[in-house]
């Protein structure tokens, strides 16, 4: 029973704190660490021996490394080898050595110093990549440097995972022997797993995929991951190493994305639990008793990392501005640092006081990371201002500033390019904005007017001379992105026409409210095109078809909105808010609505429509207000799922 309450306490703390941290825009990892600290022995003392959870928590790391292996691609590594080897490898090596020497100087054992060097050399892949993706900076040069360094750090974790278990039971003389022995074992296991992966795994997954049941696929994924982890553990190496290799082997297969989707829920929950158990080891009293010491360590190690990364990036031929920016982004301690701390504490290389100290510093460095990434660009431009303007080339600004009464196309993908071709044929001026550097340079070489940058940034929209434009076409499929751009465009110009393309009609209303003049939902337009072909081939005159299609567009696709949900309809919280369902409901003999007219029901106030009534074998579509309902009528309702449910109850029971 005690265990049940402990788990309940962990869940309550996690849910509350993760919710709070996400509201404050802080990373979820931090929330788990704080939750662990609160329920741990040093604060509330709810959890007894945290050893019980560590077995589960270790599975979180196993799955994390499995997904890391899936995403690890040799081609990507080769494509970025200049940065990965030039900046990444040297960063890990130099940083680790610098911190090892500092630790020895402070009087720590060589094993402990070695581990601390490794822990502080790593940065947080999860936080940095997420922030870069959200801000759209991942395509920038500074983002690419950061990704390359993180790529190497992720590989560098593997040797540490092999070596750390051997450090505890060795004296100085045998430390080198232990390392050599560990690496030999490592090479043997890697060879064994990779050969098994090449010949066995693809055949196994082909067999499983043919059965076509999702749960078997998930079970097999879990089995393969855990089997590989068990194998490496049997040889005395870390479980995470086996999982990484299993992921790496499957990363080349066609099942990569399916595997990743299957493993994600397990990984996220168990990883959360792992960070909770790490948080349990933190003694928060340290933060209050030795704040100066912790502040000095945090400033010290982040400062040293910034200088090392900046120096190496400049040496690799990058601009000072980008080098500073990526250095600011990578200054923190990473989640793998916590993995190594946990492993080292378990094998006894780190004392509990050192563990707490390192955890405290890591948590603080992670907490300030989102702020540092947000401002990295600004700071780097201030430090290394070289007189050149940012991102948008001068020659482009000149091009765009001469334009007047032109069209601005946000997003130069397939849709954006199709629009531009028709505009060109009609001799209408246009300028496009895109954030993909390869696409931009290809298009520019072909003579297109394309600006590099994100249309979410006001400077880039100004560079496209938006004030003078007559129309803005937003061609992204994603509604959130488009919504952001619509608001930015409206803040610059109140009068410009805005046309938005979306994948479906989920966000039609919110885009209109934000200021879009026209919204073109792809799925509904596709349906309309199909309908016009069907009617045409069925012998309906073309002029009538055109009238029907135009009427649909004018009524904002009114009749196309609702649909019957199926097994594969996305019922997640955010999409259910936007969907409109069509749902039939039968009026039994005792229903309240029997004998009432449609206007008496007052459904307009409830924002649900009756689109048809079936009586015996007759169907009355769009019935009039004075239509009288009878028992055994089937009423077809259309509206948002929650409202339809309410109205269904209302028809049966009355107000």
Picking from 347, 381, 415, the residue at the C-terminal end of a domain is 381
For residues 461 and 500, membership in a common domain is answered with yes
- List C-alpha distances in Å: 73 to 76, 200, 248, 514: 5, 20, 8, 41
The reply to whether 183 falls in a domain is: yes
Report DSSP state, residue 46. Answer: -
- As a whole number of angstroms, the distance between CA 556 and CA 213 comes to 40
The reply to whether 627 falls in a domain is: yes
Residues 117-128: what's their mean pLDDT?
A: 89
In percent, how much of the chain has pLDDT > 70?
A: 91
Give 452-480 as a 3 state SS string: ECCCCCHHHHHHCCHHHCCEEEECCCCHH
For residues 347 and 405, membership in a common domain is answered with no
Q: What is the pLDDT of residues 248-270, one digit of tens each?
A: 888 777 788 788 888 888 888 88
pTM (two decimals)? 0.62
Element (H, E) at 408: strand 407-410
Res 575: pLDDT? 66
Domain count, the chain: 4
For residues 45 and 160, membership in a common domain is answered with yes
- As a whole number of angstroms, the distance between CA 197 and CA 354 comes to 39
Res 295: pLDDT? 92
Contacts of residue 596, defined as CB under 8 A and 6 or more positions apart, other chains included, come to 628, 629
Q: What is the pLDDT of residues 200-218, one digit of tens each?
A: 888 888 888 888 787 888 8
The reply to whether 307 falls in a domain is: yes
| Residue 287 CB neighbours (<10 A) | 18
- pLDDT band for position 51 (cuts 50, 70, 90): low
Report DSSP state, residue 541. Answer: -
Range list of H helices, 136-238:
141-163, 172-199, 201-211, 214-234
Name which residue leads in pLDDT, 182 or 18: 18
For residues 130 and 235, membership in a common domain is answered with yes
Instruction: Give me the chain's average pLDDT, please.
Output: 84
Q: What is the pLDDT of residues 365-410, one digit of tens each?
A: 988 888 898 889 889 988 886 555 444 444 454 467 778 889 999 9
Lowest mean pLDDT among 76-80, 348-352, 489-493, 511-515: 76-80
- As a whole number of angstroms, the distance between CA 514 and CA 500 comes to 11
596 φ, ψ (degrees, to nearest 5): -105, 150
For residues 489 and 577, membership in a common domain is answered with no
Dihedral sign, CA of 463, 466, 470, 473?
Answer: positive
350 φ, ψ (degrees, to nearest 5): -110, 135
- As a whole number of angstroms, the distance between CA 396 and CA 180 comes to 57
Q: The CATH number of the domain where 364 resides is what?
A: 1.20.1530.20
Q: The CATH number of the domain where 512 resides is what?
A: 3.40.50.720
For residues 236 and 278, membership in a common domain is answered with yes
Res 60: pLDDT? 80
Res 134: pLDDT? 67
For residues 324 and 358, membership in a common domain is answered with yes
The reply to whether 278 falls in a domain is: yes
Segments forming the whole domain that contains residue 620: 573-653
Q: Read off the tokens for 624.
A: 């009039």
For residues 185 and 259, membership in a common domain is answered with yes
Judged on CB neighbours under 10 Å (0-12, 13-18, 19+), 1 is: exposed
Residue 172: pLDDT over 70: no
Res 395: pLDDT? 43
Cα–Cα nearest to 380, from 450, 331, 316: 331
Res 206: pLDDT? 85
Res 393: pLDDT? 45
The reply to whether 387 falls in a domain is: no
Residue 481: pLDDT over 50: yes
Res 391: pLDDT? 47
For residues 125 and 58, membership in a common domain is answered with yes
Res 634: pLDDT? 92
The answer to whether 416 and 424 have CB atoms below 8 angstroms apart is: no
For residues 46 and 174, membership in a common domain is answered with yes
The reply to whether 564 falls in a domain is: no
Q: The CATH number of the domain where 589 resides is what?
A: 3.30.70.1450
The reply to whether 567 falls in a domain is: no
In percent, how much of the chain has pLDDT > 90?
A: 25
Name which residue leads in pLDDT, 77 or 191: 191
Q: How far is CA 453 from the centre of its chain?
A: 20
For residues 183 and 321, membership in a common domain is answered with yes
The reply to whether 25 falls in a domain is: yes
Lowest mean pLDDT among 135-149, 341-355, 586-600: 135-149
For residues 360 and 478, membership in a common domain is answered with no
Res 431: pLDDT? 93
């Amino acid at each position: 029973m005690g265990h049940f309450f402990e788990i309940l306490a962990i869940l309550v703390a996690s849910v509350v704190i993760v919710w709070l941290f996400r509201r404050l825009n802080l990373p979820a990892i931090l929330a788990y660490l704080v939750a662990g600290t609160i329920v741990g022995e040093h604060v509330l003392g709810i959890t007894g021996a945290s050893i019980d959870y560590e077995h589960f928590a270790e599975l979180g790391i196993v799955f994390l490394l499995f997904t890391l292996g899936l995403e690890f691609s040799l081609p990507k590594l080769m494509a970025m080898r200049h940065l990965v080897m030039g900046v990444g490898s040297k960063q890990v090596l130099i940083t680790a050595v610098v911190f090892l020497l500092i630790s020895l100087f402070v009087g720590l054992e060589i094993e402990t110093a070695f581990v601390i060097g490794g822990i502080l050399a790593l940065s947080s892949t999860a936080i940095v990549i997420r922030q870069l993706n959200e801000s759209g900076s991942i395509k920038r040069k500074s983002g690419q440097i950061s990704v390359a360094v993180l790529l190497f750090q992720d590989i560098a974790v593997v040797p540490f995972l092999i070596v750390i278990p051997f450090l505890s039971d060795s004296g100085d003389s045998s430390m080198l022997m232990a390392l050599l022995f560990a690496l030999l074992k490592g090479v043997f296991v890697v060879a064994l797993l990779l050969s098994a992966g090449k010949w066995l795994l693809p055949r196994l997954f082909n067999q499983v995929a043919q059965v076509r049941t999702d749960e078997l696929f998930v079970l097999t994924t879990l089995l393969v991951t855990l089997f590989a982890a068990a194998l490496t553990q049997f040889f005395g190496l870390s479980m995470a190493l086996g999982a990484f290799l299993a992921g790496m082997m499957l990363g080349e297969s066609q099942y990569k994305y399916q595997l990743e989707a299957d493993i994600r829920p397990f990984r996220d929950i168990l990883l959360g639990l792992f960070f909770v158990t790490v948080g349990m080891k933190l003694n928060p009293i340290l933060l209050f008793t030795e704040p100066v010491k912790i502040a000095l360590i945090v400033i010290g190690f982040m400062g040293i990392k910034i200088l090392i990364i900046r120096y190496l990036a400049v040496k690799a031929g990058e601009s000072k501005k980008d080098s500073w920016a990526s250095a600011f982004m990578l200054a923190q301690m990473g989640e793998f640092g916590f993995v190594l701390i946990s492993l080292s504490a378990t094998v006894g290389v780190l004392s509990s006081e050192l563990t707490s100290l390192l955890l405290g510093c890591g948590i603080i460095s992670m907490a300030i990371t989102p702020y540092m990434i947000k401002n990295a660009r600004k700071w780097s431009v201030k430090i290394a201002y070289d007189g050149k303007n940012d991102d948008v080339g001068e020659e482009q600004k000149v091009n765009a500033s001469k334009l007047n009464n032109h069209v601005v196309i946000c997003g130069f993908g397939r849709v954006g390019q199709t629009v531009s071709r028709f505009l060109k044929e009609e001799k209408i001026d246009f300028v496009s904005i895109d954030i993909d550097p390869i696409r931009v340079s290809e298009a520019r070489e072909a003579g297109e007017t394309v600006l590099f940058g994100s249309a979410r940034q006001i400077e880039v929209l100004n560079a496209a001379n938006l004030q003078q434009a007559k129309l803005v076409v937003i061609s992204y499929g994603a509604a959130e992105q488009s919504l952001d751009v619509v608001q930015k465009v409206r803040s610059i110009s109140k009068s410009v026409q805005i046309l938005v393309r979306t994948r479906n009609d989920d966000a039609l209303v919110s885009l209109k409210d934000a200021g879009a003049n026209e919204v073109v939902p792809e799925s509904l337009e596709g349906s309309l095109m199909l309908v016009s072909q069907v009617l045409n081939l069925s012998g309906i005159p073309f002029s009538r078809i055109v009238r029907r299609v135009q009427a649909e567009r004018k009524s904002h696709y009114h009749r196309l909105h609702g649909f019957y949900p199926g097994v594969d309809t996305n019922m997640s919280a955010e999409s259910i808010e936007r969907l409109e369902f069509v749902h039939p409901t039968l009026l039994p003999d005792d229903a309240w609505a029997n004998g009432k007219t449609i206007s008496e029901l007052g459904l307009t106030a409830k924002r649900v429509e009756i689109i048809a009534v079936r009586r015996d074998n007759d169907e009355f579509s769009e019935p009039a207000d004075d239509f009288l309902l009878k028992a055994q009528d089937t009423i077809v309702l259309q509206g948002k799922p929650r409202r339809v449910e309410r109205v269904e109850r209302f028809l049966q029971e009355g107000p």
